Copies of this chain bind each other. A is one copy, B any other.
Amino acid sequence: MKFPQGFRSAALAAGIKPSGKTDLSCVVSDRPCSWAFAGTRSTTAAACVTRNREVYASTRPVRAIVVNAGNANAATGRQGARDNRDMAEAAESVFELPRDAALTASTGIIGHLLPMDRVLSGLEHLPDDLSDDVGAFATAIMTTDTRPKTATATLSSGAQIVGTAKGSGMIHPDMATMFAFAFSDAQVDQAALREAFPGIVSRTFNAVTVDGDTSTNDMAVAICNGAAGEVDLAEFLTALETVMRDLARQIAADGEGATKLLTVQVSGAASEQEALTAARTCCVSPLLKSAVHGNDPNWGRVIMAVGRSGAAVNVEAMTVSVQGVPVFAGKPLDYDARAVSESMKAEEVVFEVNLGAGEAHGEAWGCDLSGDYVVINAEYTT
């Protein structure tokens, strides 16, 4: 897969990851880009999120994003903020960009200072190998991801959107950091893009976390360099949401220890926000996730999760189905539990819930909870 025109990328192993895998990468545009950004709502946001937010507020165009994996540069105090700024300035210097034209993104362990000698030395070597291939970048941003995640869309004008994301899954709100980057050669008005972006993020990437809860470093960025000329805005935004939805589902399916994708579709809600909240609350429920892992059609856990989400429900009008089979309609229904359990041995398990309280709908994604999740996370640092 190639980047849209005008974008080039490089990745190398700077020695930040102990494994020696590629861990420093960048994407650079040959011209200024309109862009939109959504960062973690965490009150302990990492240096990269804090700085990107400041750059965002300036509304100036950007030209590049530099990403390191293996170290989140979070909870690193003032030194961490200085290191992040140095990383951005070094990138701007080597790519001959204006000040604050490079965004930064860091992911990995929290509470350790960045090895700046390696970062700066790596940045100097990045421009040596710029190419239009997406694969190396998509791989270099990974941490415990088992596979790179990319998605693409082509507009009727021929303009492209190429997205890539990382996130070792986990629907859990304090999951490993999630990054989502969408690059496009479409020419898009920045104000219009920024107005639409929060809604798109809410329906896509925030639907794999909970209630907008995110890690210290989470961010989603859309960057448009206009090389392919003007596009229809509505068509562009729809395509962008499709790309980001695809990536969000990939993140959920690659959840730490996951063996399958969990999809919860909520309808009949009083508002889209309540539909999303109810769907997300189901997707983070460790009890429901465990049941999905065991192919157990224990729909009572859906009732419970919806109940605690706070979304308005009319229990008498509420319905639940598992893999298309109705199991609850104001009261328990008779169904073939063995057949439903069998149907849950699929790559994707879908619960449909109608809250009976309105007309709005929303969808969230997660994964099952397996013993491997604990194994992966019990000794991440040691």
| CB nearest neighbor in B for A44 | B307
Interface string of A302-314 (1 = CB under 8 A from B): 0111111111110
Is the pair B174, A75 in contact by a Cβ cutoff of 8 Å? no
Asked whether any CB of chain B lies closer than 8 Å to the CB of A200, the reply is no
Which of A214, A298, A312 has the most chain B CB within a 10 Å cutoff?
A298
Could you tell me if A331 and B110 are in contact, using CB atoms closer than 8 angstroms? no
Of the residues B75, B175, B313, B328, contact of A300 by C-beta under 8 Å: B75
Least CB separation from A376: chain B residue: B290
Does A315 sit within 8 A of B, measured CB to CB?
yes
Interface 1/0s, chain A 110-122, versus B by CB < 8 A? Answer: 1111000000000
Is A379 on the interface with B (CB-CB < 8 A)?
Answer: yes
Copies in the complex: 2
Q: In whole Å, how far is A324's beta carbon from the nearest beta carbon of chain B?
A: 18
Contact A379 B296 (CB under 8 A): yes
In the complex, A85 has a CB within 8 A of chain B: no
Contact of A308 among B42, B76, B285 (CB under 8 A): B42
Task: Report A264 CB to chain B, min CB distance, Å.
Answer: 13
Known contacts A41-B308, A72-B300, A300-B74: A378-B290 contact under CB 8 Å? yes
Interface residues on A, range: 35 or more
A369 to chain B, nearest CB (A): 6
Least Cβ–Cβ distance between A187 and chain B, in angstroms: 36
User: With A110-B304, A111-B328, A300-B74 known to touch, is A290 a contact of B373 (CB < 8 Å)?
Assistant: yes
| Contacts A77-B316, A293-B374, A293-B378 given; does A306 touch B111 at CB 8 Å | no
A318 neighbours in B (Cβ, 8 Å): 44
- Most chain-B Cβ atoms within 10 A of its Cβ — which of A111, A214, A375? A111
Please state if B110 and A300 are interface contacts (CB–CB under 8 Å).
yes
Task: Decide: B214 and A77 in contact? CB cutoff 8 A.
Answer: no
A380 CA to B287 CA, complexed, in Å: 10
Nearest CB of B to A270, in Å = 11
B174→A304 contact, CB < 8 A? yes
Given contacts A44-B303, A174-B308, contact A290 B377 (CB under 8 A): yes
Contact with B along A196-218 (1 / 0, CB 8 A): 00000000000000000111100
Residue A229 is within 8 A (CB to CB) of chain B in the complex: no
A380:B303 contact, CB within 8 angstroms: no
CB distance from A338 to the nearest CB of B (A): 9
Let me know if B44 and A172 touch, CB within 8 A. Answer: no
Report if A156 contacts B (CB, 8 A).
no
In the bound complex, residues from chain B placing their C-beta under 8 Å from that of A172 are 285-287
CB distance from A268 to the nearest CB of B (A): 13
Contact A369 B380 (CB under 8 A): no
Which of A173, A297, A312 has the most chain B CB atoms closer than 10 A to its own CB? A173
Task: Across the A-B interface, give the 6 residue pairs with the lowest CB-CB distance, nearest first.
Answer: A110-B300, A294-B378, A44-B307, A77-B331, A290-B377, A371-B371
Starting from the known contacts A45-B307, A111-B327, A174-B301, 12 additional A-B residue pairs (CB-CB under 8 Å) come to A43-B312, A44-B307, A74-B304, A75-B328, A77-B330, A79-B331, A110-B303, A174-B287, A175-B287, A213-B308, A215-B308, A291-B380
| A-B pairs with beta carbons under 8 Å apart, 23 shown | A41-B308, A42-B307, A43-B307, A43-B308, A43-B315, A44-B318, A74-B304, A75-B303, A75-B331, A77-B330, A80-B331, A110-B298, A111-B299, A111-B327, A113-B332, A170-B286, A286-B373, A294-B382, A296-B382, A337-B382, A370-B374, A371-B371, A371-B374
